[in-house]
Amino acid sequence: MKRNLSNAHPEDTVLLAYLDAELPRATKRSTEQHLQTCWKCRAALAELELQAQAVSKLLCHEDESDIARAEKAKAKFFERKSLFETRTRRSVTRFTCLLYSQRNHATVLRWFEQATLETA
């Protein structure tokens, strides 16, 4: 026996699909007929539509402060990276000068060979 869908209240999932125009024709027609006669379902549909709009605004909203904060963090990262690389170069230079001052050329050559292999 076939049930008359126009008298049954549609579920929220059906109302959301109706808002998104994702219902098959028959279901869409019966939902529209029901909405013409049922104030309760029209109110529920309006509430769902407001909620969907609010969620959409939250998801699509680009906050300028977030973008600026991300740019600052990126600049700070590159600044710290550059500082680290500069300090590393200075340390290598100091270590090399120390080794040369001891006149231990074999140690210097081994260290440079090892450093070259590690960076390659």
Ordered by start, the domain boundaries in the chain are 12-60, 64-119
pLDDT for 114 equals 74
Confidence category of residue 101, pLDDT binned at 50, 70, 90: low
Chain centroid, CA 79 distance in Å: 24
Would you say residue 110 has pLDDT above 50?
yes
Q: What global pTM score does this model have?
A: 0.46
Residues contacting 34, CB < 8 A, separation 6+:
5, 6, 7, 8, 9, 10, 41
CB 118 within 8 A of CB 110: no
For 39-82, what is each residue's pLDDT tens digit?
Answer: 999 999 999 888 888 888 777 766 667 778 888 888 898 888 88
Report the alpha-carbon distance of residue 71 to residue 51 in Å, rounded.
Answer: 32
